[in-house]
Structure 1
Amino acid sequence: MKTKKHWAYTGGAVTVAVTVPAGTKSDHIVKIGNAGFYGVAQTDQATPDMVKKGQAPQGLVDNQASVFFPGIVLTVAAPAADLAAIPDGGKVDWDEAAKKYVAAAGVTFVGYRLNATTVALRSN
């Protein structure tokens, strides 16, 4: 699969580094957008000071935390043009006729926009 970015090896869910609100701590609920997409922080937010001193969890940059997304077993790359009209955390459908991702339009709901080029696919 050429578009695969993150996946849960054991069938659980993915944990991904994402930008989180200021003050996010491990075990806080992290809401992404307004469409019901959420995760649970697995690390505290990496502050700019932590990153500068090399004290941030591995791989995190300023204002990120590792976030576990229940029900999301795979993330895939998507064309930026397909996702441009969808906000982060917005619902994403697959339009079979057009063979592309689209904003929620009553076709096949597949997941949520994680960022400009990534769709977090929900578990069926």
Structure 2
Amino acid sequence: LQDTQRPLCPYISPVPNGAFVVTEECGDVKVFMSSHKLLCSLSSKYGHQFGNPTVVCVDRDGSILVADEQRRTVHLLPQHGAPVCLVSMGLWRPAGMACSSFGHLFVADTGDNCVKVFKYCVRLP
């Protein structure tokens, strides 16, 4: 891929429309079209500063969820609207993440060697 900072270990997640999302260790998350062309930088699109985004996944609504190892948070970035902080406490080193179709968020936390489960429901205007 072009247009990325050389991430040591990028995390990639597909988006329902054929696009995909890639984390960058230098503090950004980028969305690429299926043709591999850069669609957008999530930092620029949302005006959101990431510390060290380590993991991404996409939920059934097409919202992108980003775990930030430096800030120990998980943010939901909806297709329309402002970012929402879903998890702000209890994470040490998020290293894996998945969403269920029932609104559950699973986060593999290597800081305390466990998988943490969060329930979320975001209703956006």
Q: TM-score, normalised by structure 1?
A: 0.26
Higher RCO, 1 or 2 (CA under 8 Å, sep at least 6)?
Answer: 1
Bigger share in helix: 1
